[in-house]
Chain A
Amino acid sequence: MSTPDSIRQLPEYAALTRARKKIMWPLSLATIAAYFALILTIAFYPSTLGEPIGDGVTSIGMVLGLSVIVFCMVITGIYVYYANRVLEPLTQAIVKKAGGAA
């Protein structure tokens, strides 16, 4: 079985940590930004959110709020898609080189 140090020398390991960083921070920050943008609008501009869209009664806030719920689901979908396509093959390659020690 390979040691953690020898695994760290593998090019696939460098590629894995790089690929993970590339998806991890943008998605986390996007979620945090979307949520706090809504929260701050609620705190500072509550009346804007109450504005109806067009001639109807549906307000901007309702649409934005429900969109944030859908946005969360989309974010998890993007991550799982990326992880299965990019992160998983790299992980498997590392496990194989490390002598199937997983």
Chain B
Amino acid sequence: MRYNAPIALILSAMATCAWAQAAGSNSINVTAIIMFLAFVAVTLGITYWAARRTKTASDFYAAGGGITGFQNGLAIAGDYMSAASFLGIAGLVYTSGFDGLIYAIGFLVGWPIVLVLIAEPLRNLGKYTFADVASFRLQQKPIRILAASGSLVTVIFYLIAQMVGAGKLIELLFGLPYEVAVVIVGVLMTLYVTFGGMIATTWVQLIKAILLLSGATLMAVLVMVQFGFSFENMFAEAVKVHAKGDAIMAPGTLVSDPISAISLGIALMFGTAGLPHILMRFFTVKDAVQARRSVFYATGFIGYFYILTFIIGFGAIILLLKNPAYFTDGALIGGANMAAIHLSQALGGDILLGFISAVAFATILAVVSGLTLAGSSAISHDLYATLVLKGDRDEKKEIRASRIATVCLGVIAVLLGIVFEKQNVAFMVGLAFCVAASANFPILLLSMYWRKLTTRGAVMGGGLGLLTAVILVVLGPTVWVDAFGFAEAIFPYKYPAIFSVSIAFIGIWFFSITDKSATAANEQAAFDAQFVRSQTGIGAAEASQH
């Protein structure tokens, strides 16, 4: 990709100009801009380096399988520690204390499940996408269409949430107009993925994960040092200053009824095991041993990070509520989601504010890049290669399709980001998890462990799960009432996972056991050979040598 460097230079120059203009009109944090430009320069450098190493489909989709377990664990953690979880959970702890912890726990508990049930068979059976695994002994065409649909729906909802969050955050932090911010994010992520593929996406993610973990550690230590590293002292002080008093130590209004509580739990726990951009990372390591090691490190980093975020939320309660400078008309400037950002200034002045702002921006960029790569792989590897190329497995054509898909997804993400600017997009991450739990996860799990699964069962059950999840969210309070403005929701619960996941599993079971066709018998007979490979790794795709 020789033409990549000049383009990158022009674009980063354009971005700098936009900044310089904005800098004149607003009070702008110089540290933030310098650090962010340094991040962009380094990551574009990595993209240039990665582009020269991206020759085969394996390089493009899976970084040639040459990532170590530790690196991959950090990259997975990076994919998972989005700005939404950093700023969102800190903001939730700041507003209601314990409720923020409920979310943090929900996002973590899927990981032991991924490790114990999914990671090793996934690596042993698949090559680039989880559809490889789902379609291993089933019919390629229908299963790949369904798996790709599940992936794309998940990726697009997730992308919208990230793009809107990015636009608002950058607008606030750097004083850039919302549209300009969304375009910059869109252009940079498209560059990383189109030219650098999985190699660039992984290294961008690694750098960002290290920056985010160090920034959050520093903030948490600066908070804890004020309370002699005692949680009890910190809680006592927070209860004293918070308007809700000791109610912040107990469950609040976030999870009100049992159905919603269980439903949210199911979506978060099993959704994690169905996120396409996370599943894709398991193909970047050499073998099942490294896949296992990846999840061990990832769980450690993510759990540690959530504990930091929790401390940061409490730090924000104590240090911000006492200081009127962070408020306008009694509300935190920029909303509760800015609690962590304001806290960085309270703790370390403009330098730490600049650093944390740049880290937040880097976080968004890295996460949207991973999502875009997962989306474009679903299009090129699952749809284009199976439906258009068919038997003619031409890697060059497939990679080209993936690059075109990346550019299209970049444009779509920017447009949707602008369209949804004024909408409340908080439900979209929840929806992404719900779809992942209701369509991707059941198909993946049962294809690995249930002999009787047939193509008909997977397509009908998975399709029903996908549809139910989307329809019930639209008819529920978050979209029907909050977004569309109707007075009452048709479906009463915020989180439909308990219904949609059940429908998916029951549908898959019913349409599989009643499938008496000859192909179904063959698919069931093929289970034993698949299970041997999934358990031992004999015959699994290997790392490319170069």
Contact = CB atoms under 8 A, between A and B. Distances in A.
B104 A40 contact: no
A31 B268 CA distance: 13
Interface in B82-119: 98, 101-102, 104-106, 108-109, 111-113, 115-117
Nearest to A65: B101
B1 interface: no
B37 to A, nearest CB: 36
Interface stretch (B196-204, B292-300, B454-462): B292-300
Interface string B512-546: 00000000000000001101110111111000000
Interface in A16-52: 16-17, 20, 23-24, 27-28, 31-32, 34-36, 38-40, 42-44, 46-47, 49-50, 52
B113 A28 contact: yes
Contacts of B106: 35
Interface string A1-22: 0101101100001001100100
B113 A73 contact: no
Interface stretch (B23-31, B228-236, B407-415, B426-434): B228-236
B67 to A, nearest CB: 18
B257 interface: yes
Contacts of B232: 56-58
A80 B375 CA distance: 31
B251 interface: yes
Interface in A80-94: 80, 83, 88, 91, 94
Most buried by B among A13, A27, A76: A76
B289 A88 contact: yes
Contacts of B532: 4, 7-8, 13
Contact of B262 (A2, A36, A50, A57): A36
Contacts of A62: 98, 101, 231, 235, 249
B501 interface: no
Contacts of B528: 4-5, 8
A96 B300 CA distance: 33
A40 B116 CA distance: 24
B116 A58 contact: no
Contacts of B540: 102
A73 B300 contact: yes
Contacts of A23: 116
Nearest to B295: A76
Interface string A62-77: 1001101110110111
A13 B537 CA distance: 12
B222 to A, nearest CB: 20
B108 A69 contact: yes
Given A42-B102, A61-B251, A69-B307, A76 B538 contact: no
A46 B250 contact: yes
B255 interface: yes
B134 to A, nearest CB: 19
Chain B, interface size category, equals: 35 or more
B112 A31 contact: yes
A46 B264 CA distance: 16
A102 B115 contact: no
B265 A36 contact: yes
Interface string B236-280: 100100000011011100010110011011000100000000000
Contacts of A77: 296
Interface string B111-149: 111011100000000000000000000000000000000
A62 B246 CA distance: 12
Nearest to B304: A73
A72 B112 contact: yes
Nearest to A90: B536
B306 interface: yes
B315 to A, nearest CB: 15
B537 A80 contact: no
Nearest to A59: B249
B303 A72 contact: yes
Contacts of B262: 36, 39-40, 43
Contacts of B307: 66, 69
B536 A102 contact: yes
A39 B267 CA distance: 13
Contacts of A40: 258, 261-262
B538 A102 contact: yes
Nearest to A54: B232
A10 to B, nearest CB: 10
Contacts of A95: 536-538
Contact of B536 (A7, A43, A80): A7
A33 to B, nearest CB: 11
B286 to A, nearest CB: 11
Contacts of B104: 69
A82 B338 CA distance: 43
A94 B258 contact: no
B538 A66 contact: no
B366 to A, nearest CB: 23
18 contacts: A2-B538, A4-B532, A28-B116, A35-B269, A36-B262, A42-B255, A43-B261, A47-B250, A50-B246, A57-B232, A57-B249, A66-B307, A72-B303, A73-B299, A73-B300, A76-B115, A95-B536, A95-B537
Among all A-B residue pairs, the 9 with the closest Cβ atoms: A50-B250, A4-B529, A59-B249, A43-B261, A43-B258, A46-B251, A4-B532, A75-B112, A31-B112
Interface of B: 98, 101-102, 104-106, 108-109, 111-113, 115-117, 231-232, 235-236, 239, 246-247, 249-251, 255, 257-258, 261-262, 264-265, 269, 289, 292-293, 295-296, 299-300, 303, 306-307, 310, 528-529, 531-533, 535-540
